Amino acid sequence: MARQHAVEEAILARREQINEAIRRELPVDEPEQLYEASRYLMDAGGKRLRPTMLLLAAEALADVAPLSTDFRSFPTADGAEIDVLRAAVGIEAIQSFTLIHDDIMDDDDLRRGVPAVHREYDLSTAILAGDTLFAKAFEYMLETGANAERSVAATKRLATTCTEICEGQSFDIDFETREEVTTDEYLQMVELKTAVLYATSASIPAQLLGYEDAVEPLYGYGLDVGRAFQIQDDLLDLTTPSEKLGKQRGSDLVENKQTIITLHARQQGVDVDSLVETESVESVTESEIDDAVAQLDAVGSIEFARETAHDLIANGKDRLEVLPDNESRRLLEGIADYLVEREY
């Protein structure tokens, strides 16, 4: 419990710094509605896990005491200084961009307990807000003060990541209408749609700060814990109350989204398509979801997902051996555990 508390405190402390940087880097300017919509989900909350991971990786690489250094003037391997916070805001901008567009594609009503951007404003404004955040992210990544070679490498990594996120989203949509999807295909989709942004968050500090030997191990760490994060999200969609989740529980099941849980259940002979007969997220009942979860649990699919997530976390933490043995490294290990222990 003490370690979990330390991790939560670390996330909270860095979230406050990231929130302050968001307000500074993305002010509500003219046209006012565009920037209000761009900031809307950021202002609605969020744990800031990905940019927090970026800040912790920077601290660990530079082997400085946690929060002892101004992230806007952070030491590189060769004694220069860069604005790591600006890179962190870029990562959060990409995350918010993906959420806005995901909600549009899924026609979801809620995100983080508030109306989705396209519901609070309108479809056109939501699309523009997402596009604005996408463009701003690259501005921020190019304005950290890192030398040209490192800036280009980090920006290229971010661009590749955005392409991969779109590929993962496309696979996810395709899976909804396919009769058969393998577990390996699902994990590849999760890697592209979700994990690559964690991987980029963890590895970009090594590129910007000049610790080249750490880039790929940190990228691998992010891939592993990012896939585990998505599996935990799939579990939470079934097991967390709607009011805590911020959206309708069981929506993935109603919308016929393929998850590692439903794939495993199919392999056990469960007719997943008939688990929930209601076709609308708005009209599905809690008792229907309860019955579906009970069937998935009975064939071991819930436990299979949990075990897979924990195996990925263990593998990811092993990759952190590339870092100095310091408190920030231990916090990165703790965040990995947190990703599969969180309740929402």
**Closest among 327, 147, 322, 332 to 225, alpha carbons compared:** 332
Sorted by sequence, the CB contacts under 8 Å of residue 174 that are 6+ apart come out as none
- Report the pLDDT value the prediction gives residue 1, as an integer from 0 to 100: 62
The pLDDT tens digits along the chain (344 residues) read 667 788 999 999 999 999 999 999 999 999 999 999 999 999 998 999 999 999 999 999 999 999 988 999 999 999 999 999 999 999 999 999 999 999 999 888 888 889 999 999 999 999 999 999 999 999 999 999 999 999 999 999 999 999 999 999 999 889 888 878 998 999 999 999 999 999 999 999 999 999 999 999 999 999 999 999 999 999 999 998 888 876 788 988 888 888 999 999 999 999 998 899 887 888 888 999 999 999 999 999 999 999 999 999 999 999 999 999 999 999 999 999 999 998 77
Give the relative orientation of helices 196-209 and 148-175 as an angle to the nearest 10 degrees: 180
Going from the C-alpha of 176 to that of each of 65, 144, 260, 268, the distances in angstroms are: 47, 40, 13, 19
Q: What is the pLDDT, as a whole number, of residue 258?
A: 87
Cα separation of the two ends of the chain: 18
The fold for domain 2-341 equals Farnesyl Diphosphate Synthase (1.10.600)
pLDDT of the residue at 241: 86
According to the model, what pLDDT value does residue 246 have? 67
The domain limits of the chain are 2-341
- Which CA distances in Å does 255 have to 12, 95, 176, 275, 280? 33, 22, 8, 12, 8
Residue with tokens 């003219």: 30
Q: What does the block give as tokens for 248?
A: 């309708």
Convert 39-106 into a string of H (helix), E (strand) and C (coil): HHHHHHCCCCHHHHHHHHHHHHHHCCCCCCCCCCCEECCCCCEECHHHHHHHHHHHHHHHHHHHHHHH
